[in-house]
Amino acid sequence: MLDDGGHESEQQIVSLEALLPHLRPGGVYVCEDITGVRNPFLSYLNGLVSSLNVTRQKEGYKATTFQQAIDSVHFYPLVAVIERLDEVRESLDSVRHGSEWPVE
- Within 13 Å of residue 53, how many CA atoms lie on the same side as its CB? 5
Architecture per CATH, domain 2-90, reads as: 3-Layer(aba) Sandwich (3.40)
Q: Which residue has the higher pLDDT, 72 or 2?
A: 72
Task: Give the separation between CA 79 and CA 100, rounded to whole angstroms.
Answer: 39
Q: Which residue has the higher pLDDT, 26 or 52?
A: 26
Any idea where the domains of the chain sit in the sequence? 2-90
Task: Give the separation between CA 52 and CA 61, rounded to whole angstroms.
Answer: 13
Q: Which residue has the higher pLDDT, 16 or 51?
A: 16
**pLDDT tens for residues 38-89?**
899 999 999 988 888 776 655 556 777 888 889 999 999 999 999 999 988 7
pLDDT recorded at residue 7: 86
Cβ neighbour number for residue 12 with a 10 Å cutoff:
24
- CA 42 to chain CA mean position, Å: 12
